Amino acid sequence: DEILRRPVEVRNGLLRQVRAGRFDRDTVRVVIDLERESTYRVFALPGPFRIIVDIDGEGEIPPLPASPDPVVPPGVAAAPSPEDPEPPAVTSSAPPPAPSAASAVPHAPPSTPPTVESPRAAASPPSPVRKHRVRVMIDPGHGGKDPGAIGPTGLKEKDVVLAIGRRIREKLSRTGEFDVRMTRDEDVFIPLEERTAMANKGRADIFVSLHINASRNRRAEGFSTYVLSRGASNREDLELAARENGVPVRKLQGVKFIIDDMFTGARKNESLRLAKTVNDAVVRHVSHRYRDVQSLGLKQAPFYVLVGARMTAVLVEASFISNAREESRLRDPSCLDGIADGVVEAVRYYGQNGILAHSEF
């Protein structure tokens, strides 16, 4: 109601103010005044329903600060240390459609690239010479009031993925090739849309969201890596996306998703390339430590956390915490190292050979 009485002043170099007016009992117009002309996209998300206005602010918003030193989460072993013209306006009068939510490379510079079998459009381009370090955003899922999935003996997804994320950050940072950030480095809750917004704000080239799968079938096992899609590969993937999105399947099915234009074409193909490479590398590394490691392959589903990403973005489901054997492995530091090593290997290869969203040449 306050915004209907007077505009909300922002003046942060990108936004000037936000104002609103009520036309009738069913219609409110919201106007966002900008300091300069800018591109934008508008979409809606359910659970709860909200309208997102994602405004590009290149060059005006500083990168994210470096993450603080890691703190070990409970139940998971730690990794080893090493004066202005009339402004343009963006107007939204009605809710728009919602968007879709959802090999080997050694640690030294690789001599041969990992095998990427699909898609055909994902063939590797010639290796470029980059002027700047590749920016990577690691997103440990869940956190705070949201524990994620919980295993038979009480191991929480939020703790496992945080431990894996810290390992990935440390290993990538040691190479000197990457500027690595994390959406969270402690046990805090961050809404899904804010996670991708953090990556966009920091102009990340690569976004990797880390999760652990779960199923009502306690024997379900294996590793899979996802990219954003309008629909899901199967019913199980739809249920998984609904769980990660925090909404019932029926609500997820009822939303008519659209894919952000920044995610079509090259970005989708690049995400498919990275997802395939990540999954192959993670399975191979964990297989060095355990037998019978199952690969569930490259998949697609409507994960909200990937919506609006302006960079290559994937979501990793690193085994099933609902499976007693895999939960036990997730308590083993060597398993967490294997998962992290696989992600690092794939990200290093993609960082050297992929078509990045922001890094200059």
pLDDT by residue for the chain (361 residues), tens only, comes to 666 677 777 777 777 788 877 767 777 778 887 877 766 666 666 556 677 777 766 444 444 444 444 444 455 554 444 444 444 444 444 444 444 333 333 344 444 444 444 444 444 444 455 557 899 999 999 999 999 999 999 999 999 999 999 999 999 999 999 999 999 999 999 988 788 889 989 999 999 999 999 999 999 999 999 988 765 555 666 566 666 665 554 554 444 454 444 444 457 888 999 999 999 999 999 999 998 999 999 988 777 777 778 899 999 999 999 999 999 999 999 999 999 999 999 999 999 887 776 644 3
Nearest to 218 by CA among 320, 329, 335: 320
Determine the residue type at 178.
F
Bridge partners (DSSP) of residue 40 are 55
Q: Residue by residue, what is the 3-state secondary structure of 26-46?
A: CEEEEEEEECCCCCEEEEEEC
| Domain finish residue from 35, 57, 92 | 92
> Looking at the structure, do residues 213 and 178 belong to the same domain, yes or no?
yes
264: tokens are: 């079509």
> Looking at the structure, do residues 241 and 165 belong to the same domain, yes or no?
yes
Q: Is residue 361 part of a domain?
A: no
> Looking at the structure, do residues 272 and 317 belong to the same domain, yes or no?
yes
Q: Which residues contact 206 (CB under 8 A, 6 or more apart)?
A: 134, 135, 136, 137, 274, 311, 312, 313, 347, 350, 351, 354, 356
> Looking at the structure, do residues 186 and 257 belong to the same domain, yes or no?
yes
C-beta separation of 300 from 230 below 8 A: no
| Domain finish residue from 40, 75, 92 | 92
C-beta separation of 206 from 135 below 8 A: yes
Q: In a 10 Å sphere around its CB, with 0-12 CB exposed, 13-18 middle and 19+ buried, how is residue 225 labelled?
A: buried
Q: Is residue 38 part of a domain?
A: yes
Q: Is residue 80 part of a domain?
A: yes
Which domain, by its residues, includes 57? 2-92
